[in-house]
């Protein structure tokens, strides 16, 4: 059984929206809803646990209850940090779950293919993360703003979500992190500290984390492009259907003409 924990309790201060950023809309649909729809489109996902602010639990439940075709879900109160929200979500995961994915609510552009690849890799290796090769040169900079080193770009990857793990492994990693008072920036860092190898799965550059107003514009541009592609495909299929109908009518007309000419009607 595969469960997905979706941390969505952050207020997104860099978005300057004044509300939970995952409630902001992308072409008219709340970001959280789009993320839930994409996770639900993956046949390998069985349940979804969403962690939101304590005062947002009931409103989020009412919002998602009206969304068609989403997987069984539960809403829990998040915590002060992302790590706390994931920990609260883990406590609500079904006993039967053997694989747990963690996916940011602010990544609604994730592909079903990426979700499936992370699940498959987590089942095979125990821990897997979605990522893409770094495009830009990265510098290590000290507290005074002076460059200390330039890591080889070929070895650098930009890590995304989903991140998938065997449930027992992730539970252990979280227990260790709290015992050591360690706060990680992602779930894989906790698993790595517990001594487990983590497999990198190739994702795609569209799987952005929406953090700033500029990211919203980028995501809407992607969605607009998808809509145009879908419309074009529909038009192409309609044209093909019309062409086939015209050809059929012309063929029948020719048969009628020949029979009329031969007097065999």
The pLDDT score that the predictor gives to residue 216 is 85
- Integer Cα distance of 31 and 28 in angstroms: 9
Bridge partners (DSSP) of residue 202 are 131
- How far from the centroid of its chain's Cα atoms is residue 265's Cα? 63
CA distances from 222 to 47, 63, 64 (A): 27, 24, 24
Specify the long-range contacts of residues 116-124, CB closer than 8 Å, at least 24 apart: 116/42, 116/44, 117/201, 117/202, 118/162, 118/163, 118/164, 118/201, 119/2, 119/42, 119/44, 119/45, 119/164, 121/164, 121/199, 121/201, 122/164, 122/165, 122/166, 122/199, 123/99, 124/199
Minimal CA–CA distance to 9: which of 87, 126, 92?
87
The pLDDT score that the predictor gives to residue 13 is 62
The pLDDT score that the predictor gives to residue 261 is 62
The pLDDT score that the predictor gives to residue 223 is 86
Contact by Cβ (8 Å): 166, 97: no
Which single residue is written with the structure tokens 């989020």?
60
- Integer Cα distance of 74 and 91 in angstroms: 11
Minimal CA–CA distance to 15: which of 165, 232, 260, 214?
214
Question: Would you list the DSSP string of 33-81?
Answer: HHHHHHHHT-TT--EEEEEE-GGGHHHHHHHHHT-TT---EEEEE--SS
CA distances from 182 to 78, 168, 175 (A): 18, 19, 10
How deeply is 243 buried, as exposed, middle or buried, from its count of CB atoms within 10 A (0-12, 13-18, 19+)?
Answer: exposed
pTM score of the predicted model: 0.82
- Integer Cα distance of 201 and 183 in angstroms: 24
Each residue's pLDDT, cut to its tens digit, for the chain (265 residues) gives 999 999 998 766 666 566 788 888 888 899 999 999 999 999 999 999 999 999 999 999 999 998 999 999 999 999 999 999 999 999 999 999 999 999 999 999 999 999 999 999 999 999 999 999 999 999 999 999 999 999 999 999 999 999 999 999 999 999 999 999 999 999 999 999 999 999 999 999 999 999 888 888 888 888 887 655 555 555 555 555 555 555 655 565 566 566 556 666 5
């Amino acid at each position: 059984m595969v469960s997905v924990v979706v941390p969505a309790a952050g207020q997104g201060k860099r978005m300057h929206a004044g509300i939970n950023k995952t409630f902001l809309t992308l072409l008219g649909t709340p970001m959280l809803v789009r993320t839930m729809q994409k996770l639900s489109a993956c046949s390998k996902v069985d349940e979804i646990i969403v962690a939101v602010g304590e005062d947002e639990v009931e409103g989020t439940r009412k919002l998602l209850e009206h969304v068609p075709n989403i997987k069984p879900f539960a809403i829990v109160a998040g915590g002060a940090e992302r790590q706390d929200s994931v920990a609260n979500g883990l406590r609500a995961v079904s006993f039967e779950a053997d694989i747990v994915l963690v996916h940011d609510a602010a990544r609604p552009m994730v592909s079903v293919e990426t979700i499936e690849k992370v699940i498959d890799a987590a089942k095979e290796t125990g821990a897997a993360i979605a990522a893409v090769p770094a495009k830009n040169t990265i510098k290590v900079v000290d507290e005074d703003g002076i460059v200390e080193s330039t890591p080889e770009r070929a070895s650098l990857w930009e890590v995304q979500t989903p991140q998938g793990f065997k449930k027992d492994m992730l539970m252990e990693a979280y227990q260790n992190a709290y015992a050591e008072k360690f706060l990680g920036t992602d779930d894989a860092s906790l698993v790595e500290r517990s001594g487990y190898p983590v497999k990198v799965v190739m994702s795609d550059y569209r799987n952005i984390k929406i953090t700033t107003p500029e990211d919203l514009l980028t995501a809407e541009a992607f969605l607009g492009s998808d809509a145009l592609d879908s419309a074009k495909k529909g038009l192409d299929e309609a044209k093909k259907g019309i062409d086939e109908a015209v050809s059929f009518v012309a063929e029948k007309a020719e048969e009628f003409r020949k029979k009329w000419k031969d007097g065999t009607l």
